């Protein structure tokens, strides 16, 4: 008969402070990790991201509209980010995330929120350009190259696919998933507008 590792409540508290997960989730993760704090954090993150995808179908009727003005009034951003409850909408952590998104939009100049928002005609036009660029390649290679170029295109124009300006190795969609896991609610970047003086 296996015996569970006795978990120090101070370590549970420490893990909770680091991950913002529930006390029982922290205790279970520490038991699973044999009391190893780093391993327990990894377990929680893995489960957290999994639970984030489950939360993605839940309704988001609360949230905030945030603004950011940059470069002495030369660039302005408005963004709507939704969550499930007014409690999270007022949470400093949530608001800090939204602020980071406005800063990112000002700097990275995305055009759409996600690849689903890119008009089909535009995608088809890009696809034809890429096909023409590699028309001399073998047919079985062309589609792979075109898909690779399309992915690159999406990572340029779609907010969720862009690398976060403060940490380019992390895509905005991954940042969003981590925040959903951390706050325990579905969060949706609904829409944004970016203004730049002199742009039509």
What CATH code is carried by the domain that includes residue 174?
3.30.479.20
Is 1 contained in some domain? no
Q: Which residue is it, tokens 């951390």?
A: 182
Is 187 contained in some domain? yes
| pLDDT at residue 57 in the model | 58
Number of domains into which the chain is organized: 3
Is 2 contained in some domain? no
188 and 107 in a common domain: yes
192 and 175 in a common domain: yes
DSSP 158: B
- Percent of the chain residues past pLDDT 70, beyond the cut: 88
107 and 71 in a common domain: yes
The predicted-structure confidence for 74-110, as pLDDT tens digits, reads as follows 999 999 999 988 899 999 999 999 999 999 999 999 9
Structural domain of residue 168, as residue ranges? 62-114+158-196
The structure's pTM equals 0.68
76 and 145 in a common domain: no
């Amino acid at each position: 008969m296996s015996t569970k590792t006795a978990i120090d409540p101070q370590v549970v508290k420490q893990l909770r402070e680091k991950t913002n997960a529930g006390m029982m989730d922290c205790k279970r993760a520490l038991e699973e990790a044999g009391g190893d704090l780093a391993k327990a954090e990894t377990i929680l993150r893995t489960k957290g991201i999994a639970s984030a995808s489950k939360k993605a179908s839940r309704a988001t009727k609360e949230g905030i509209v945030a603004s950011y003005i940059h470069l002495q009034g030369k660039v302005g951003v408005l963004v709507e980010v939704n969550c499930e409850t007014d409690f999270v909408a007022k949470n400093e952590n949530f608001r800090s995330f939204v602020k980071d998104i406005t800063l990112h939009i000002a700097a990275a100049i995305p055009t759409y929120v996600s690849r689903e928002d890119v008009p089909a005609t535009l995608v088809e036009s890009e696809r034809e350009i890429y096909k023409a660029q590699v028309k001399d390649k073998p047919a079985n290679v062309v589609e792979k190259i075109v898909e690779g170029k399309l992915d690159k295109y999406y990572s340029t124009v779609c907010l969720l696919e862009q690398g976060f300006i403060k940490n380019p190795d992390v895509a905005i969609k991954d940042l969003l998933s981590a925040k959903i896991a951390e706050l325990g609610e579905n969060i949706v970047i609904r829409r944004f507008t970016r203004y730049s003086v002199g742009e039509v």
